[in-house]
Amino acid sequence: MEQGLDGVAPLRRAPRPGRGLAERGTPVEQAALAPALPSSGRRRPVAAGPARRLWLLAWTLAAGLTALLVLAPVAALGIEALQGSGGLWPHLLAYVLPPALRDTALLLAGVGLVVVAVGTGAAWLVAAYDFPGRRLLDWALLLPLAVPTYIAAYAYLDLLHPVGPVQSAIRALLGYARPRDLILPDLRSLPGCILLLGFVLYPYVYLPTRALFLMQSATLVEAGRSLGAGPAAVFLRVALPLARPAIALGASLALLEALNDIGAAEFLGVRTLTVSIYDTWVNRSDLPGAAGLALVMLAACLGLIAVERRARRGRGYAGAAQRPRRMSRTPLSGPAALAALALGLVPVALGFLAPASYLAVEASRRLHRAGLSGAILSESVNTLVYAALATAVATVLGLVVAAGPRLLGGRWREALLRCATFGYAIPGAILAIGLLPPLAALDGALDGASRALTGAPLAAMGLGTGAALVYAYAVRFLAVTAGSSEAGLARVPRSLGDAARILGRGPVGALARVHLPLTWPALLGGALLVFVDCVKELPATLILRPLNVETLATHLYGEAARGTYEDGAVAALLIVAVGLLPVALLLRVSTPKASPEA
């Protein structure tokens, strides 16, 4: 038998059919592994047992600390809620929770119906029919993702004001001279909030449902048609049941966003749990009461997630072994094509075009009248700095917790990964309230240590500083970077990591020289999404921002609260412009270039 360089028979693996370069390694992958060979040509020995155990311990401690940082606010909420007086919970149950729970339940039910109807209908329209303008409509339906809910409410409050442009135009058209001669329904109501949130959040349902419709086999639809089913019956009895997992996933994400909203609900006079939490803490300085409300809201979030998981349980289907033929679109022409295009443009106009056009017009007027204020520049810098720092922290921590199970194995490392990504299910208001007690305790401990050692007090390093805001952002959106890292690492063949370890690379070396060069697009995409989410985040920013520090989101909230909408248009337009970045990324990812049917 042929002997290897170290006197051991070399391991040989027969090439597997269909693996090709992914198994043997591309030139780029070989170049990444080449520096592992010393100049003598001999392989470095595989990492010894103690060294591997040291890496296991270090990686486990890092992942465990990350999971602890995510779960600490939840534990602090429970402890803080117990610190209230004996009459706290009776007061909450009698006066605060009933209206808050009622408004929240009605809001979620209404928003759920709107996003499911609009998102599913729009997805079926562009997936099942072909008409002039369909390609434009296909990507335009994603544009409302760039508009945060509080910005949409801010824009529509001014657009639909009794002396605003919409009602003024209607009165002029009908011949009315005074606003009181024609009274339209007020947007500041629960139905108004439901419609506004629904037409902004429907892309969460549209995107996964459209992808599932495009993946459905043509034979399923054709079988229904051959049995005499019309277009409506095929949609209701064939396509819709198969799309229920995607619809449930998208609806749950939309409802979590609606539950996290504070600006739109407060502007429109709907007292949800999130608004009650913020009011209890800021206006009444009642931290135990706010913590108790946050626990109720957290239970509602977990209930939504449980309902979504149950709705998707056992709702899959198996396809054929070969690649199925995609469903062909039904061509439309004439009045039918115009009706389809007009119907598809309605949610685009209401969710993006109307608020974005208003912001562009008002921002141009503001810039022409007073120029770009120095406050906007400083607020933009604050926004970008905090978002960039949080993105860097979340990306590093997300890679750490995602790489542990991939490189080191172990089911309990999978459990640490799931715990670390729990923060995305926690709305920003809950997370901020939960961070107040541990940050205050940290500042107290550090100040006490400083007084004992130096006799001088120590400035706050947690509560009321930028570090608290970065912490909240990173915990809130860690699931995004961890998910993108996990998806990117899963696409790297395990044989490449095994080869790196055989050549003497440890887990960090394999990650740096093999996995990172192949997964950086996924990491970059996740980091971009986190950056934009940090720029748009309002509830956590309102509660945790440092004193005398404003971001674009808090500036806009203050202008809307004062009723000076035109002065906040520039900040709102900047946030929308940043929000267009992930929409462009989603367009590139969700539309395959090689498939003209997509």
Q: Which pLDDT score is estimated for 27?
A: 37
Two tokens, residue 49: 């047992």
Q: Which pLDDT score is estimated for 55?
A: 65
Q: In this model, does residue 19 exceed pLDDT 60?
A: no
Q: Which pLDDT score is estimated for 47?
A: 43
Per-residue pLDDT of 128-181, as tens digits, reads 889 999 989 988 999 998 899 999 998 998 888 888 888 888 888 888 878 777
Alpha carbon distance 476, 390 (integer Å): 10
Span 470-483, mean pLDDT?
A: 87
Band of pLDDT at residue 25, cut at 50, 70 and 90: very low
Span 254-268, mean pLDDT?
A: 88
Per-residue pLDDT of 578-594, as tens digits, reads 888 888 777 766 554 44
% of the chain at pLDDT higher than 70: 76
Q: How many CB atoms lie within 10 A of CB 168?
A: 14
Per-residue pLDDT of 519-541, as tens digits, reads 777 788 788 888 988 998 888 89
Band of pLDDT at residue 240, cut at 50, 70 and 90: confident
Distance set, CA 187 to CA 269, 273, 274, 376 (Å): 9, 20, 20, 29
The kind and range of the H/E element at 40 are none
Band of pLDDT at residue 412, cut at 50, 70 and 90: low
285 Rama sector, left if φ>0, alpha if ψ -120 to 50, beta otherwise: left
CB 209 within 8 A of CB 216: no
Handedness of CA 83, 427, 198, 146 (dihedral sign): positive
Q: Which pLDDT score is estimated for 503?
A: 64
Q: In this model, does residue 106 exceed pLDDT 80?
A: yes
Span 7-18, mean pLDDT?
A: 42
DSSP state of 321: S
Residues spanned by CATH 1.10.3720.10 within the chain? 56-80+372-550, 87-314+329-342
Domain 56-80+372-550: CATH superfamily, name plus number: MetI-like (1.10.3720.10)
Band of pLDDT at residue 439, cut at 50, 70 and 90: confident
Amino acid at residue number 337: A
Two tokens, residue 238: 């064939």
From the list 550, 549, 553, 519, the residue with the least C-alpha distance to 533 is: 553
CB 219 within 8 A of CB 175: no
Higher pLDDT among residues 507 and 267, named by residue: 267
Amino acid at residue number 413: R
The SS3 assignment for 330 reads: strand
Q: Which pLDDT score is estimated for 198?
A: 95
Q: How many CB atoms lie within 10 A of CB 200?
A: 32
Alpha carbon distance 267, 259 (integer Å): 15
Which overall architecture, per CATH, does domain 87-314+329-342 show? Orthogonal Bundle (1.10)
Q: Which pLDDT score is estimated for 414?
A: 67
Two tokens, residue 176: 């009315």
Q: Which pLDDT score is estimated for 590?
A: 58
Q: Which pLDDT score is estimated for 410?
A: 58
Instruction: Give Cα 78 distance to the centre of its chain.
Output: 26
CB 401 within 8 A of CB 417: yes
420 Rama sector, left if φ>0, alpha if ψ -120 to 50, beta otherwise: alpha
Which of 22-26, 306-310, 334-338 bottoms out in mean pLDDT, i.e. has the lowest? 22-26
CB 404 within 8 A of CB 420: no
DSSP secondary structure string for all residues of 230-292 = -HHHHIIIIIHHHTHHHHHHHHHHHHHHHHH--HHHHHTT---HHHHHHHHHHTT--HHHHHH
Span 169-195, mean pLDDT?
A: 85
Higher pLDDT among residues 29 and 150, named by residue: 150
Q: In this model, does residue 197 exceed pLDDT 90?
A: yes
Question: Which of 30-34, 225-229, 296-300, 584-588 is most confident?
Answer: 296-300
| Full 3-state SS string of 561-595 | HHCCHHHHHHHHHHHHHHHHHHHHHHHHHHCCCCC
Instruction: Give Cα 425 distance to the centre of its chain.
Output: 10
Q: Which pLDDT score is estimated for 381?
A: 92
Q: In this model, does residue 384 exceed pLDDT 80?
A: yes
Q: Which pLDDT score is estimated for 519?
A: 75
Question: Which of 51-60, 257-266, 560-569 is most confident?
Answer: 257-266
The kind and range of the H/E element at 58 are helix 49-81
User: Which residue has 């009706």 as its token pair?
Assistant: 339
% of the chain at pLDDT higher than 90: 18
| Full 3-state SS string of 156-208 | HHHHCCCCCHHHHHHHHHHCCCCHHHCCCCCCCCHHHHHHHHHHHHCHHHHHH
Average confidence score pLDDT of the chain: 78
Distance set, CA 323 to CA 22, 217, 218, 326, 593 (Å): 21, 9, 11, 9, 18
Two tokens, residue 256: 């979590």
Q: How many CB atoms lie within 10 A of CB 342?
A: 11
Higher pLDDT among residues 181 and 494, named by residue: 181
DSSP secondary structure string for all residues of 468-536 = HHHHHHHHHHHHHHHHHHHHHHHTS-HHHHHHHHHTT--HHHHIIIIIHHHHHHHHHHHHHHHHHHHHH
